[in-house]
Amino acid sequence: MQNLIEKMPKAELHLHIEGTLEPELMFDLAKRNGLSLPYDSVDDIRAAYDFQDLQSFLDVYYQGMAVLQTEQDFFDLTFHYLQRCADQNIVYVEMFFDPQAHLSRGIAFETVLKGIIRAMQQAKTDLQVESQLILSILRHLDEDDGLKALDLAIAYQDYIVGIGLDSSERNNPPEKFRSLYQKARQAGFRLVAHAGEEGDASYVRGAVEVLRVERIDHGNNALQDMKLVAKLREMQMPLTLCPLSNLKLKVVEKVSEHPLLKMMNLGLKVTVNSDDPAYFDGYLVENFTAVQEAFQLKPNQLIELAKNSFEASFLPQERKAHYL
Ligand code: ADE
Ligand code: ZN
């Protein structure tokens, strides 16, 4: 079973590139940039990754990013992650990045984008790992701040396939970004949004009906509303589930309580993803292994999850067909 999980070609659709910053690289970059960290060692950092909820993680995640300063830093971050993809037979990935979290620290958009794109290009030729970028809007900031990031995405649209919505979910409902999503849709971006991770089912409904997304990131709490579930099934709306993230952020108490299997049995289109693997004790293979062990998934179910990841991707249809 482990062999199948490792060897089958996989796509990852819910991955924050800033969430792949391993403590070792954090130390290296801090040193290179002459910064001091509030930790004494790599072990010290890992010990601090004991989260109570989404916000307690986000506080550490935004602080960790402070070491990312130069184009080379963003290259190193991205290339390290894409090397992991090659190791785990992840042949295609759609990566989120959070430009507002860098602009607010005085890092230019071009610095971030150039470093990431150069790593993506090198990974394609050297590692045969393909990738696309999704610019994610920070929902704890106001819509005007997000619109500035969207304008940058429009200026660099050749390099960005979609627009997403992340950060603190509760009290920042999808409706807050109605105009931004309308503008993004008119510009031709593919649309996704985090919903139903900590927010209730109404956040998932709002993402689908008001923002008109093509994919929901997480979506766990959709199960609170069976009419919504019927609609998601009807639409075959993909949900990018993140089991180990949900465990670390106490969205679920145990992997066996994760809604993945229930959703599969309800006929929903679910995928397995790693979210912020450097913070949540596992990349994609470890997420697959966790749900296989918790639910005793059969080979055909693992293969279905991997196929879903390609089907739900923003690859052109003829490229998807190769994996289905
Ligand atoms: N930003 C990075 N990871 C996130 C998550 N799991 N939820 C919301 N925002 C995030
Ligand atoms: Zn996420």
Q: How far is CA 21 from CA 233, 266, 281, in A?
A: 35, 35, 12
Round to whole Å and give the CA distance between 202 and 222: 8
Sheet holding 90-97, edge to edge: 10-16, 90-97, 130-138, 162-166, 190-195, 215-218, 238-241, 269-272
Q: Is the CB of 220 under 6 A from ligand 1?
A: no
Nearest Cα residue to 5 out of 255, 311, 323, 283: 283
Q: Ligand 1 atom closest to Cα of 19?
A: 2
Query: Which one from 197, 209, 253, 257 is the annotated catalytic residue?
Result: 197
Q: Which amino acid is at 5?
A: I
Residue 106 included in any domain: yes
Residue 322 included in any domain: no
Q: Which amino acid is at 211?
A: L
For residue 275, the 8-state DSSP code is B
Cα(318) to centroid(ligand 1), Å: 31
Q: Is 197 a catalytic residue?
A: yes
Query: Would you say how long the chain is, in residues?
Result: 324
Residue 256 included in any domain: yes
Cα(322) to centroid(ligand 1), Å: 31
Residue 270 included in any domain: yes
- Ligand 1 atom 9: the closest Cα is on which residue? 167
Over 90: is that where the pLDDT of 76 sits? yes
Per-residue pLDDT tens digits for 170-217:
999 999 999 999 999 999 999 999 999 999 999 999 999 999 999 999
Over 90: is that where the pLDDT of 324 sits? no
Residue 320 included in any domain: no
The ipTM, to two decimals, is 0.98
Which residue range is the domain that position 31 belongs to? 2-314
For the entire predicted model, the pTM comes to 0.98
For residue 157, the 8-state DSSP code is G
Q: What mean pLDDT is predicted for residues 249-274? A: 98
Neighbours of 49 (CB within 10 A): 18
Per-residue pLDDT tens digits for 116-130:
999 999 999 999 999
Alpha helices in 88-188 (DSSP H): 99-103, 109-127, 143-155, 178-187
Residue 115 included in any domain: yes
Please name which ligand lies nearest the alpha carbon of 15: 2
- Ligand 1 atom 8: the closest Cα is on which residue? 167
Residue 290 included in any domain: yes
Number of domains in the chain: 1
pLDDT for the residue 105: 98
Q: Is the CB of 176 under 6 A from ligand 1?
A: no
Q: What is the mean pLDDT of the chain?
A: 98
Cα(217) to centroid(ligand 2), Å: 7
Round to whole Å and give the CA distance between 60 and 108: 22
Neighbours of 316 (CB within 10 A): 8
Per-residue pLDDT tens digits for 15-40:
999 999 999 999 999 999 999 999 99
pLDDT for the residue 177: 99
List of long-range contacts for 124-131, beta carbons under 8 Å, 24+ apart: 127/82, 127/83, 127/85, 127/86, 128/86, 128/91, 129/82, 129/85, 129/86, 129/90, 129/91, 129/92, 129/93, 130/91, 130/92, 130/93, 131/82, 131/92, 131/93, 131/94, 131/95
Q: What is the CATH number of the domain that holds 160?
A: 3.20.20.140
Over 90: is that where the pLDDT of 148 sits? yes
Residue 321 included in any domain: no
